[in-house]
Amino acid sequence: MGTVSAADAPAIAALTGDALAAAVKGNLDNDLVLQKFNLKVKGKDADVTIEGSVDEGEQMALAGNVAENVKGVRYVFNNIVPKN
């Protein structure tokens, strides 16, 4: 106990880039309101960009909140376009 193997290091390190984008995408896809929109997520360092379209501005805001709540996210570029 107390030692960390090289295999465990990625799990302990903060998520960045593609791994962070995948975590955000997973949370968006698991949200019952947002999953039907199949939003796209890109990550660079600790920042993520969300793209796609939703029905209403409230859903756009929800997607931003879901992304912001992922541990490690520093900034969310919310490029979602609401239809209404």
37: domain CATH number is 3.30.1340
Q: What is the pLDDT of residue 47?
A: 96
Measured between alpha carbons, how far is 8 from 32 in angstroms, rounded to an integer? 32
1 — pLDDT class (breaks 50, 70, 90): very low
16 — pLDDT class (breaks 50, 70, 90): confident
SS3 assignment for the chain = CCCCCCCCHHHHCCCCHHHHHHHHHHHHHHCCCCHHHCCEEEEECCEEEEEEEECCHHHHHHHHHHHHCCCCCCEEEEEEEECC
Domain assignment present for 41: yes
Domain assignment present for 61: yes
Q: Which pLDDT tens digit goes with each residue over 40-77? A: 999 999 999 999 999 999 999 999 999 999 999 999 99
Domain assignment present for 38: yes
**Is this prediction's pTM over 0.85?**
no
Q: What is the pLDDT of residue 13?
A: 54
Please state the domain count of the chain: 1
Domain assignment present for 8: no
